[in-house]
A and B are shown apart, each in its own frame.
Chain A
Amino acid sequence: MTTIARFQVEYTRFVDPQGEATQPLPEFALDPAALIPLYRAMLLTRTFDTKAIALQRTGKIGTFASALGQEAIGVGVASAMRAEDVLVPSYRDHAAQFMRGVTMSESLLYWGGDERGSNFAVPRDDFPICVPIATQVCHAAGAAYAFKLRREARVAVSFLGDGATSKGDFYEALNFAAAWQAPLVVVVNNNQWAISVPRSVQTVAQTLAQKAIAAGFEGCQVDGNDVIAVRHAAQQAIEKARTGGGPSLIEAISYRLGDHTTADDATRYRDPEVVQQQWAFEPIVRLRSYLLRVNAWSQQEEEQLVKECTNAVNEAVEAYLAMPPPTTAAMFDHLYATLPAALQEQRDTALHFAPPQGGEHG
């Protein structure tokens, strides 16, 4: 018997849960001031999350998927992207979306049940939130192929959860991207839970990162609660893709500190004490501890930032609530480039029966 192949999966962490650097930091992180925007983005996401859950509880938006505890993943990855790259998100990726220029009021519109929330003013090429699990990874592979075909130095970056790695779409997308050597970066947010199904029931594979190896490319693990580690891995993968090195996969290990969505009650299936213990590893306190440790942050700056984030979120909420309701005609007018004549009568019927104030009735 001869061994014809051996594989390994590397795990990276730069800052431990106590905020102490465990190895020399990568270049971008040498100046602590460069980390403040990442800290701000994580805090903004958490402030938004808290507000969005409150808005759902009072009926101002519909079901919402919180990113509580996983803020470092979206922030770290998106901070390594260029404007011309394309984000292909799942439904728990508003941290990354905000970094890309999606506004918080657009996000609220989306979760409020309004398609206008997917018509981003800024990242015009970014894909909308994807709900059917793992399907977006295929789209990202296709987008990456388009960049390669046109010789554009752009990268497609797609997010998915640990549960999504069980779907065929995920494996198929990895294989396509590798066969095409397309500029794709796949980020698995391993938050340990697919609604009620823990990572251990999802798969007996030792890592999710190793699933890339079967497709013929590199998969690595990072501490997903260490924004420096996430950003570092993303930067390497994105630049490798941009320079013709093909796809990469990053498994970011984190923990879903909240419910799956506001429609879920996680106390039905997991021990709140175990969740409580996971708070010791969360990403925001960790980076703050580091910044305090290296004297790059103060209580005064913290208070100022909290105030700033709260104001920004409140303004977004006001802008969202002030939006006029969607029009009945909009259900028809964006379905095709041009409304087919055969649909005109149905559009007329809908307008005829529409409530005078617009928006919903029933």
Chain B
Amino acid sequence: MAELNLIEAINHALAYEMAHDPAVVMLGEDIGVNGGVFRATVGLQQQFGAERVIDTPLAETAIAGTAIGMAAMGLKPVAEIQFSGFIYPTIDHIINHAARLRNRTRGRLSCPMVLRSPCGAGIHAPEHHSESPETLFAHMPGLRVVMPSSPSRAYGLLLAAMRDPDPVIFLEPTRLYRLFKQEVVDDGTALPLDVCFTLRSGTDVTLVSWGAMLHETQAAADALAQEGIMAEVIDVATLKPLDMETILESVSRTGRCVIVHEAARTAGFGAEIAANLAEHGLYSLLAPVQRVTGYDIVVPMARLEYQYLPSVERIVAAVRKTLEGS
């Protein structure tokens, strides 16, 4: 058992799987000698060799595309995209090929790859380093989309992603990389994909979030508890496929739901959850569902980024709105 931060937990999960599955290879920019710009892959090239931990030329399109070829031929590539804004060139390969190779060949070929990328704002990074692209991928059939919110879940979910027979987009909130440490048992135990995690039980309102925003969401739940409002907090963790059952069950008890995400509002993943609540949980709702999200604007550069990110104050205000008149 060790106290690890989120980036160390990812490093341990990668190392565990490399050691136990010779089919796992890693590729990306600066992941070898340098150990990754965020140090996710530190020590892995020394341990497993340059053939399995590949410093690629600088080209995200080819990183994604060659990973597909590797995956189809029996390897299990874990590709790293260095910063979130550089994930967009991969979309052609991920959508047109990774997501549909199994379906196109009726199961003859498949694509067991993981595309890892940092995501999110809040570390005063340069332009194009603070994106939240989860909805782009969650919209596409054939993919799994995962975003951990703690070191132990990052460890277990990444192992699950690497063992999954289909492509997984694994988005790592940079703001959490070194924010806090947690006990992580490095024994190769994977967590289930496709389920939400209830982080805190409550009776008055269900707060649903994922990734770094769970930090503010939990803080909002703490603040509300001071005044006797008991919030249940759910970490979606795997956005696609979505475990709606856990959310519906919670809302059936609380009658209220606030969805919090960092990505822009329009067609954000909160809209999908809200639509599911409208379809399947309307009669349990005591108040309209609220969304607290990033605005429909380009993520601002560092000076204004914290005015973009949903704050504890905004989450608390949204909860109050659901409690109005009750």
Contacts and interface: CB of A to CB of B under 8 A. Distances in A.
Interface in B287-307: 295-298, 300-307
Contacts of A353: 307, 311, 313-314
Interface centre among B37, B60, B89, B304 (most CB of A within 10 A): B304
Residues of A contacting B: mostly: loop
B57 A197 contact: yes
A319 interface: no
Given A62-B125, A115-B301, A133-B86, A331 B55 contact: no
B37 A360 contact: no
Contacts of B129: 131
A103 interface: no
Contacts of B295: 331-332, 343, 346-347, 349-350
Contact of B55 (A132, A201, A332): A201
B57 A195 contact: no
Contacts of B300: 115, 331
A326 B300 CA distance: 11
Interface string B309-324: 1010110000000000
Contacts of B55: 196-197, 201
Contacts of A163: 57-58
A328 B305 CA distance: 10
Interface residues on A, range: 35 or more
B73 interface: no
B298 A359 contact: no
Interface string A331-362: 11001000000110011011001110001111
Contacts of B85: 131-132
A168 interface: yes
Interface residues of B, number: 43
A358 B302 CA distance: 13
B30 A360 contact: no
A361 B59 contact: no
B125 to A, nearest CB: 7
Contacts of A132: 85-86, 88, 128
A328 B307 contact: yes
Nearest to A351: B307
Contact of A113 (B303, B307, B313): B303
B29 interface: yes
Contacts of B303: 112-114, 325-326, 359-360
B57 A362 contact: no
B308 interface: yes
Contact of A167 (B61, B297, B298, B301): B61
Given A163-B57, A263-B37, A331-B297, A350 B307 contact: yes
Interface in B39-63: 55, 57-62
Contact of A360 (B128, B304, B313): B304
Contact of B58 (A112, A133, A359): A133
A166 B296 CA distance: 33
Nearest to B129: A131
A195 B34 contact: yes
A52 B311 CA distance: 31
Contacts of A360: 302-307
A361 B37 CA distance: 26
Interface centre among A63, A112, A194, A197 (most CB of B within 10 A): A197
Contacts of B60: 167
B126 interface: yes
27 contacts: A113-B302, A114-B303, A129-B127, A166-B62, A167-B59, A168-B61, A194-B58, A196-B30, A196-B32, A196-B33, A197-B58, A201-B55, A268-B34, A326-B304, A331-B295, A335-B297, A342-B296, A346-B295, A349-B314, A350-B295, A353-B307, A355-B307, A359-B303, A361-B306, A362-B305, A362-B309, A362-B311
Interface of A: 62-63, 91, 112-115, 129, 131-133, 163-164, 166-168, 194-197, 201-203, 263-264, 268-269, 325-326, 328, 330-332, 335, 342-343, 346-347, 349-350, 353-355, 359-362
